Structure 1
Amino acid sequence: MLYEQFARPSGMAGKLAGLFMNKENERLNEWTLSFLNIERGDRVLEIGFGPGKALQKVVETENVFLYGTDPSEVMVETVLRKLHAKGKAKQVGIINGTARDLEAFSQPLDKVYSVNNLNLWEAPLETLGHLHSLLREGGKIALTLCPHENGANDDTTVVIGGQLRALLVEAGFHEVQVHIKPTKPNDSVCAVGLA
């Protein structure tokens, strides 16, 4: 049940999971976005936006159009409410769905990012291949994970970094770089690639 509330938050427990994710991912969101250099006019996609802190930061960039997908209706409603309150809802296209659902998505993109949810994707290689086809030449993707599994440690993060690099290369990305950041409970990893 606890896993389900982080994978697909629902109800009051889902709202509490969202609050925890906000706190947990705040620094990771900033770190991930720092690799993307989001600029005026960019078309950006966040996969698994959760409570939407990163979306809210990106939408402050002038003339950026932002897409976001999340499988949780609770998170979608929360984010839409926050964006409406800020008058930013027209800049954002929100999709209630999984990463796999993006195979029907066809908008051209400049930047794509995901924080702490790639491990929940049903078919990561296929999804990454599709995202590669949507990114303009030179477009960037950044995938961040902090392992939380039982028995995970900083060595796990290094292994995950290698796996992320391999996935991105196999999906067609190049100049893939893997970055490690000291975090708790374990180090975090961000893999960045170019289309």
Structure 2
Amino acid sequence: MLYEQFAKPEGWIGKLAGKYMERENEALNEWTIHFLTLEEGDRVLEIGFGSGGALKKALEVPGIHLFGIDPSEAMVYTALRHLHKRESTADVCLYHGEASQLTTFTQPLDKVYAVNNSTYWEKPLDTLLYLRGLMRRNGKIALTIRPHENGAGDDTAELLGGQLQALLVKAGFQQVRIHLRDAKPNDAVCVTGMA
């Protein structure tokens, strides 16, 4: 039951899980966004935005166009509430759905990122292939994970980084790099690539 609340938060327990994940992921969100070098006018997609912590950070860039998809209706509602409170000129469009449902998304993209959720994607390669097709030339992607599973250690982050690297290469991304970050309880990994 607890695992499900972190994968797809529902109800008031899901909202509490979302608050926990927002605090837990704050530094990872900033680290991930750092790799993207967001610029005015960028069209940016976050997969699995949770309560909207990274979206709020991205809104600091003027004239940005933000898109997001999240499998939790509770998180879509929470993120919309949080983002509505912010003064911003950005365009924001949030969708309720799984990463595999992005095949209905047709907007061109400059940057794509996901923090702590790519391991939940049903069809990660198909999703990445589709996203690669939507991305403009020299677009950037960043996938970040800090493993939380029982028995996970720093070597787990390295292993997951290698798996994500292989997926990005297979999906046609270039200049794919693995970045490790010291974190507790385990290291985090961010894998970046260019369209």
Length-normalised TM-score, structure 2: 0.97
Per-residue CA distance 1:62-114 (angstroms, 9 max, x = gap) = 00000001011111011111222224496101000110010111100000000
One-letter code aligned to 1:126:
D
Shift of 1:123: 0.2
Please name the residue that 2:193 is paired with: 193
Specify the SS of the correspondent of 1:35.
Answer: helix
Q: 1:9 to 1:89 in 2, by over 3 A?
A: farther
Please name the residue that 1:27 is paired with: 27
Please name the residue that 2:174 is paired with: 174
Unaligned runs of 5+ in 2: none
Contact 2:59–2:90 (8 Å) recurs in 1: no
Shift of 1:180: 0.2
Specify the SS of the correspondent of 2:36.
Answer: coil
1-structure distance, mates of 2:84, 2:153: 40
Q: Percent identical across equivalent pairs?
A: 58
Segments ≥4 residues shifted beyond 3 Å: 87-90
One-letter code aligned to 1:85:
K
1-structure distance, mates of 2:90, 2:183: 35
Per-residue CA distance 1:130-172 (angstroms, 9 max, x = gap) = 0000010100000000111111111111111111110000000
Please name the residue that 1:117 is paired with: 117
Please name the residue that 1:165 is paired with: 165
Length-normalised TM-score, structure 1: 0.97
Contact 1:46–1:114 (8 Å) recurs in 2: yes
One-letter code aligned to 2:125:
L
Please name the residue that 1:152 is paired with: 152
Per-residue CA distance 1:23-64 (angstroms, 9 max, x = gap) = 110000000000000000000000000011100111121000
Please name the residue that 1:65 is paired with: 65
Please name the residue that 1:76 is paired with: 76
Please name the residue that 2:97 is paired with: 97
Contact 2:62–2:90 (8 Å) recurs in 1: no
One-letter code aligned to 1:61:
V
One-letter code aligned to 1:140:
K
Residues paired across the two proteins, number:
195
One-letter code aligned to 1:78:
T
Contact 1:80–1:89 (8 Å) recurs in 2: no
Shift of 1:7: 0.8
Q: 1:34 to 1:10 in 2, by over 3 A?
A: same
1-structure distance, mates of 2:110, 2:90: 19
Q: 1:67 to 1:48 in 2, by over 3 A?
A: same
Specify the SS of the correspondent of 2:131.
Answer: helix
Q: 1:22 to 1:89 in 2, by over 3 A?
A: farther
One-letter code aligned to 1:67:
F
